[in-house]
Structure 1
């Protein structure tokens, strides 16, 4: 399609080049030959009367015009994608769609099973593609990287890591409880503040090493001895790691309670220090707010989140 002397398909290439100014990487990303990308860049330069990408040492960087075009081109493409995705009269019982979600193991393990059951009952043609944040290692925040560069439909992550650039809704809120080995005598009969700081901790982390389950990790990490903190990206390994050790796991209440219910070797204790509650937030692209399928699926996530602690 052409509009006022420019092939609109070139804007897809322009968006990719402005996001990652490398002809080679964009060719790989779009599954197009490098000479074809170079030829399309030449047409774009001719149309805008500007180099768009300029050499800076061994790398290409954006020209001032390229920097000015970047947000406008990206926003236009998002609106175009949303428009072409809209299917009037959306009926979840008959629809065939796939939604991608990037989330932590906490969300994958405790919320998404409820979502899967809901889809099986109400929308058997809708499927899920679950992603973890390790796939989005980049300088940008993981929410921005997942939504903008990788085209993920929804991200769910602690509010501490949310992006200010995308719409959001609170999804899960929970207070914290501690989980210990049942024969951890230091935590008997109650866990006091002094003991809490003296014992080693095990904490789930996000891709950048940040504590995934606690909104502010100052109390746990800065006052505890750093060498006595075990960090893991594997949430489901925590119950096994606690057995036979003095370790403490401080987890959202619904996670700690579920682990304790499944393992008689573990014991729940109240957290002896005040911690802000965990708030998991769902984010999505603003341009997709008009797609009834997205609106429906977002509501499914919110409905299922209300049942997580039940």
Structure 2
């Protein structure tokens, strides 16, 4: 189909080319040969009367026109996808759809198994694809690469709609035979102990350190650095280490591990877990239904 002389199928190619800035990677995502992808870029260059992508050394960079088009083209495709998803009213009993959620392993352990059960019961032909949260997770909603972000409220973008899902708080966790478990736990105990902390991918410092340094003016002694939240308790067993964990996850882990849980020796803010979706997907009937299911599931297990 053409619009003002442009083959609209080329917009998909344009979006991927401007995102990847690499012919080989773009061709893989488009399921086209490299010559076919190069031909698509040539046609786009003719239409926009601009190079769009130029070779700089061994890589390609967007021209000013390419930069100008990148976000509008992506938003247009998100809107188009929403229109197509709404061609028929969403019927959970017959719909076939995959909902893409970006969340940490914490939410994946606490909420998503229950959500998966509810989805299977109410929409048996739909499924969930969980993506690991990255350092730029909030940008994935802006790009339209995921349907839902499930992250702490502080990590979400202001320009897209969001809704609070559930609340949690931080506690201190240690091996049940840790000598600190037999006494009143103090701030000096916290400062002097070695800690198991969590660091994700490109984050340069453990997640909770930001709050500690900013509010208590000290840095923890690190005994072990884990790559996700759910592994943390395993590294406490048989050691004098302690960890700062989400209470809901700590309580769940304590059901099968010999752990001692106590309050932190100072008042800490509660954490609000929220979901966010792209502005242009606000009227997607399937996502409206799915967001409601997320809230209903959270209310059911966290009431």
CA–CA distance in 1 between the matches of 2:115 and 2:213?
33
Superposition deviation, residue 199 in structure 1: 0.5
CA–CA distance in 1 between the matches of 2:301 and 2:216?
28
CA–CA distance in 2 between the matches of 1:224 and 1:58?
42
RMSD value over aligned CA atoms?
2.4
CA contact 1:167–1:285 (8 Å) conserved in 2: yes
**TM-score, scaled to structure 1:** 0.88
CA–CA distance in 2 between the matches of 1:274 and 1:215?
16
Superposition deviation, residue 43 in structure 1: 1.1
Q: Aligned residue for 1:232? A: 226
The answer to whether the aligner puts 1:285 opposite 2:275 as a matched pair is no
CA contact 2:165–2:272 (8 Å) conserved in 1: yes
The answer to whether the aligner puts 1:172 opposite 2:166 as a matched pair is yes
How many residues align structurally? 302
**TM-score, scaled to structure 2:** 0.90
Residue by residue, what CA displacement relative to the aligned partner does 1:162-202 show, whole Å, maximum 9, x if unpaired? Answer: 33453322223211111111221134322111101111111
The answer to whether the aligner puts 1:251 opposite 2:245 as a matched pair is yes
CA–CA distance in 2 between the matches of 1:108 and 1:220?
29
Superposition deviation, residue 225 in structure 1: 4.1
Q: Aligned residue for 2:266? A: 273
CA–CA distance in 2 between the matches of 1:51 and 1:32?
21
- Aligned partner of residue 96 in structure 1, secondary structure: coil
CA–CA distance in 2 between the matches of 1:123 and 1:53?
43
1:144 paired residue among 128, 139, 142: 139
Closer, same or farther: CA 242–30 of 1 in aligned 2, 3 Å = same
Superposition deviation, residue 119 in structure 1: 1.7
CA–CA distance in 2 between the matches of 1:160 and 1:214?
15
Superposition deviation, residue 39 in structure 1: 1.1
Superposition deviation, residue 204 in structure 1: 2.9
Superposition deviation, residue 109 in structure 1: 0.7
- Which 5+ residue runs of structure 1 have no aligned equivalent? none
- Aligned partner of residue 190 in structure 1, secondary structure: coil
Q: Aligned residue for 1:84? A: 84
CA–CA distance in 1 between the matches of 2:219 and 2:231?
22
- Name which of structure 1's ranges 266-275 and 182-191 shifts more when overlaid on structure 2: 182-191
- Aligned partner of residue 306 in structure 1, secondary structure: helix
Q: Aligned residue for 2:10? A: 10
The answer to whether the aligner puts 1:153 opposite 2:162 as a matched pair is no
Closer, same or farther: CA 221–231 of 1 in aligned 2, 3 Å = farther
CA contact 1:205–1:213 (8 Å) conserved in 2: no
- Aligned partner of residue 208 in structure 1, secondary structure: coil
The answer to whether the aligner puts 1:50 opposite 2:50 as a matched pair is yes
Aligned counterparts, 1:90-101, within 5 A:
90-101=90-101
Q: Aligned residue for 2:59? A: 59
Superposition deviation, residue 284 in structure 1: 1.9
